A and B are shown apart, each in its own frame.
Chain A
Amino acid sequence: MLPRRVLAKLTAAITLAALSLFAFGICRATERSELVLHGIGGDFKGFDPVDCGDVESADQVSRVYEGLLEYAYLDRPYRAIPRLAKVMPEVSADGLTYTFKIKQGVRFQDDPCFSGGKGRELVAEDFVYSWKRLLDPKLQSQGTWIFDGHLKEAVVLDAHTLQVRLTQPYPQLLWVLTMPYAFVVPREAVEHYGGEFRNHPVGTGPFRLKRWRRSYRIEYERNPTFSGQRYPDTGEPEDKEAGLLEDDGKPLPLLDRIVEYDVNEYYTAWQMFLAGQTFSSGINKDYFEKVITPQLGLSDALKKKGIRLYKRPELATYYIGFNMLDPVVGQTADPAVNERHRKLRQAFATAIDVDKYIAVITNGRYLPANTPIPPGVLGHTEKPYPYKYDLTRARKLLAEAGYPDGRDAKGRPLRLTMIMPGAGSTDARQQADFYSEQLHAIGIELVVQQLTFAEYLRREHDGETQIFWAGWVIDYPDAQNFLQLFYGPNKCPGVNATNYQNPEFDRRYERILSMSESPERTALYEQMAGMANNDCVWALIGYPLAYGLFQPWFQDYKPHAFPYANWKYFKVLPH
């Protein structure tokens, strides 16, 4: 019934699994300034908004399709603004009815599926059709959660007025409507192309698909019927200085063509970036020292080339979760035993030197975490983390948990098993080594199983875990998206992979569900995050910062925590 997310999990795994999913830009220098070439981050599921559960699919879909709302590109904190809606919706006093006025004159791109081949005008009925399609069980979409349990009906009042009626207040509705799952598709295309619909996108968006060779190359061109959206003229104060407002008022998209190649070897992609063939690159942690100076700035060699460095806070939290159903680390009915298990989890968390982890394993690319809610989201506090690295305290907690020096009452060593995604990748191996070594210091033998992502999901889903490494990237800028991960009824196979149960927490969670933003709600968020910390459901690791490098000729880029639907703002200078 509740918002659940795949996208976030995937992002986390992708960041970790340096194996095959790197997203890198590749760009060939050509005389045509409009041409940007960049890398696809692995396989995606084609152009069907109902199937964009992974970051890559969401990104690709959002170039062709659009929704009622979108994020304001330059504004922070993040803000939803109308896209296909004319203005923000009118909301009824009880918060149960949202009335959207839809822009007039918006047309789908020209396509043979329409009579005469000319794109038809967008009407309210299209949204009803698209959302019904999303919820159609036959399509097995992973995105039904955005409406499940909330949406009563969507009603067409007239050709350009749509009314969304809810069963209960859902302040997050405005956020989920910016997500690709809620994007609008024309019935004609679905019916005309049938099973091939996902390979023939027909949207209202800034680009249209020109050519696509799976696992190799994809090419878009400007959609000539894209309707008058212009580059924003306001942003944060520092945007002007950064030159992000120079194109204000120019019609979007700024690019005529996008060409991407799918490079799945980091090592190959990095060579291409250095050769100026790609517009951007992530930074592999092993390259970090040569690229980034110890002060976390760009090294001189790259600066000379005019390459720019961006740090983007990811609105994500990386953590180690404990399965509360596990007989060794979990919750039990017996309060004394329960307390001992809690001590064990706390000992585990306290034994991990997060600062060292960040310094040596991630090269300073995380901020140490102190609460499950990352900074930049209401509900984050600056209270110190209760399980700061302290070996003496960790040993003491472990002894209180019934395992002095890591031995149980019978003298057998305590052996715990943690799973993490990223099988076979160097990154996963290095992390696994690190955690085993840290816990060995207090006498716990930690076996780390590195799994393929499919297997990892399955284990988590089935609750066949004891301890799991995980990350959660936020779906929309509301801490509720994090707190759902501790809500009892969301237990496996739901998003609450820890199976944490706390009636006090659940009661508060149910309250905040219908609350709009207010100091009271924020206070509840903080309280709930504190409860999760208190029970040590997660051993917190950090909030990641994404570092990216860009060629000097790539312009108008501003890091965005929701990295889809932004391609129309990017620009390339002649080079």
Chain B
Amino acid sequence: MGAYIIRRLLSVVPITLGVLLITFFLFRVLGGNPAYRIAGKNATAARIAQISHERGYDKPLFLNFQDFPRSLLDAQFPRLCAQLARLDFGESLSTKQRVSTMLRQGFVPSLCVTVPLFVIELVLAITFALLAAYFRDTWLDRGLVVVSVMGMSISTLVYIMVAQYWLASEWRLFPVWGFEGPYYLVLPVLIGVVAGVGGSVRFYRTVMLDEMFQEYVRTARAKGVPQQTILFRHVLRNAMIPILTNVIIAIPFLYTGALLLENFFGIPGLGRMTVTALFNGDEDVIFADVFIGSILFVIANVITDVAYTWADPRIRLR
């Protein structure tokens, strides 16, 4: 199993390279030379050339064949990878801050929203899904499904606008904006849960139902095992694999924060930072973001695999 984990963890290299390649392609190749943005409106051609040179934007994009093979890797993309591999995330073009500082400052506020949101949503979703599965094909089940689907048919944007306007501005139940204490997080988290729980209920319900159609459930039922026991002892236990997969895979994305909620409620998190960076063409921030994201993603995948062996002892990792 140790060897397996190491092998899987090594896949971080190709995946991260791939992600960076795509990002690099989008921003540097299609997006053009960032020197223009650095130089600003008042730049002269000479100034742009100078900045390009200093920052290495005048080098070949992917590989350098000029002095083959000595300087093969003296090109923009390999240099970027090397820089990130040293965990040097560079400097934001639009705020002139170290990206590492920005990440450090941003991830706590992001997690303050996404973690409670995620946990509450998960607990609610699994509870409702179990209910629906237990009472399947009754009015309760159908009602839950229809309500869930209705809930997920409204844009998150509308939830936010309506809740912020009425609950916070008009009725003063919550602060409109800010990140001053736990109370400020209640409304964003609440909105996030309401907007997201429908989809989760629908998903986990199908997961539960998948299990309910399995042979062993039929056998257990034939043996006269009570429904509750089947549901909690067998179905939930066996549904752990898809649930775990879904949960652990979602975890790395918690760090990117909730774009909309952060924007509307003034939470100084990474979601807001990333969107701003995107619009300012602030590549260093984007590169750092996807770099960390892809590493977390691979790690989460390995954890999922390990978790499988715990949830289902028949699974062996080789």
Direct A–B contact in complex, judged by CB atoms less than 8 Å apart: yes
Q: Which residues of A contact B (CB under 8 A)?
A: 4-6, 9, 20, 43-46, 48, 51, 53, 137-138, 140, 142-145, 195, 198-199, 213-216, 261-265, 267-268, 271-272, 275, 423, 452-455, 457-458, 460-462, 493-495
Q: Is B203 an interface residue (CB 8 A)?
A: no
The answer to whether A214 touches B105 (Cβ under 8 A) is yes
Chain A, residue nearest B268 (CB): A216
Q: Which of A143, A461, A494 contacts B36 (CB 8 A)?
A: A461
B163-178 to A contact mask, C-beta < 8 Å, 1/0: 0110011000000111
User: B238 an interface residue at 8 Å Cβ cutoff?
Assistant: no
Q: How far does the alpha carbon of A495 sit from the alpha carbon of B32 in the complex, in Å? A: 20
Further contacts, 18 of them, CB under 8 A, given A9-B41, A454-B280, A493-B43: A4-B42, A5-B42, A142-B40, A144-B42, A213-B105, A213-B268, A214-B95, A214-B105, A215-B272, A261-B266, A262-B268, A265-B264, A268-B176, A268-B264, A268-B266, A455-B281, A493-B45, A495-B42
B170 CB to nearest A CB, Å: 9
Q: 15 A-B residue contacts at CB 8 Å?
A: A6-B41, A6-B42, A9-B41, A45-B95, A46-B97, A140-B38, A140-B51, A143-B42, A214-B102, A215-B273, A216-B179, A265-B264, A272-B176, A453-B280, A493-B36
Q: Is the CB of A458 within 8 A of B37?
A: yes
Docked-complex contact B96 and A494, CB < 8 angstroms: no
Contact B39 A140 (CB under 8 A): yes
Once the chains are docked, how many angstroms separate the CA of A215 from the CA of B279?
15
- Taking the complex as formed, is B64 at the interface, i.e. its CB lies under 8 A from any CB of chain A? no
A264 to B37, CA, bound (A): 22
B42 touches A142 (CB 8 A): yes
**A495 vs B43: C-alpha distance when bound (angstroms):** 9
B48 lies within 8 A of chain A by Cβ: yes
Residues of chain B within 8 A of A267, CB atoms compared: 161, 164-165
B contact residues around A45 at 8 Å (CB): 94-96
Distance (whole angstroms) from the CB of B178 to the closest CB of chain A: 7
Q: Which residues from 93 to 138 on chain B have a C-beta closer than 8 Å to any C-beta of chain A?
A: 94-98, 102, 105, 109
Residues in chain A near residue B273, CB distance under 8 A: 215
| Chain A residue at minimum C-beta to C-beta distance from B269 | A215
Which residues of chain B have C-beta atoms less than 8 A from A9's C-beta? 41
Residue picked from A51, A145, A268, most chain B C-beta under 10 Å: A268
Please indicate the chain B residues that have their CB under 8 angstroms from the CB of A493 in the complex.
36, 43-45, 48
Q: Are A142 and B41 in contact (CB under 8 A)?
A: yes
Q: A4-B42, A43-B94, A198-B96 are in contact. Are A457 and B264 (CB under 8 A)?
A: no
Say if the beta carbon of B301 comes within 8 Å of chain A.
Answer: no
Residues of B contacting A137 in the complex (Cβ-Cβ under 8 angstroms): 50
With A213-B268, A261-B178 as known contacts, state yes or no: A457 contacts B36, CB within 8 Å: yes
Inter-subunit contact B40/A6 (CB<8 Å): yes
Bound state CA distance, A495 and B105, in angstroms? Answer: 37
Residues of B within 8 A of A145 (CB): 42
How far is it, in angstroms, between the C-alpha of A5 and the C-alpha of B263 when the chains are bound?
30
- Bound Cα distance A195, B178 (Å): 30
The CB with the most chain A CB atoms within 10 A, among B42, B176, B179, B263, is that of: B42
Contact with A along B251-268 (1 / 0, CB 8 A): 000000000000110101
Residues of chain B from 269 to 318 with CB closer than 8 A to chain A in the complex: 272-273, 276, 279-281
Hey, which chain A residues are within 8 Å of B45, CB to CB? 493
A197 to chain B, nearest CB (A): 10
Q: For A461, give its contact among B41, B50, B94, B98 (CB under 8 Å).
A: B41
What's the nearest-Cβ distance from chain A to residue B174, in Å?
A: 12
Cα of A452 to Cα of B41 in the assembled complex, Å: 15
Q: Tell me the minimal C-beta distance from B73 to chain A in angstroms.
A: 25
Are B41 and A265 in contact (CB-based, < 8 A)? no
Q: Is the CB of A457 within 8 A of B41?
A: yes
In the A-B complex, the 4 residue pairs with the closest CB atoms: A4-B42, A142-B40, A216-B268, A271-B169
Residues of A within 8 A of B98 (CB): 195
Shortest beta-carbon distance from B162 to chain A in Å: 12
Residue contact A271 to B43, C-beta cutoff 8 Å: no
Residue of A nearest to B96 (CB): A45
Q: Are B281 and A268 in contact (CB under 8 A)?
A: no
Quick one: which of B51, B95, B268, B281 has the most chain A CB within 10 A?
Answer: B95
What's the Cα separation between A37 and B268 when bound, in Å?
Answer: 17
Partner of B41, one of A5, A138, A144, A263: A5
**CB-defined contacts of A195 to chain B, threshold 8 Å:** 98
Q: Let me know if A454 and B97 touch, CB within 8 A.
A: no
B161 nearest CB neighbor, chain A only: A267
Q: Which has the most chain A C-beta neighbours within 10 Å: B45, B96, B165, B281?
A: B96
Question: Shortest distance in angstroms between B281's beta carbon and chain A's nearest beta carbon?
Answer: 4
Contact (A462, B36) CB under 8 Å given A261-B266, A272-B176:
yes
Which residues of A have CB within 8 Å of B178?
Answer: 261
A64 to B129, CA, bound (A): 58
Name the one of A6, A46, A423, A462 contacting B96, with C-beta atoms under 8 angstroms. A46
Q: Is the CB of B51 within 8 A of A214?
A: no
Chain A residue at minimum C-beta to C-beta distance from B265: A268
Contact present for A43 and B42 (CB under 8 Å): no
Q: How far apart are B11's CB and chain A's nearest CB, in angstroms?
A: 34
Complex CA gap A304/B266 in Å reads: 30
A349 to chain B, nearest CB (A): 24
Interchain nearest-CB distance for B233 vs A (Å): 48
- Measured CB to CB, the closest approach of chain B to A464, in angstroms, equals 10
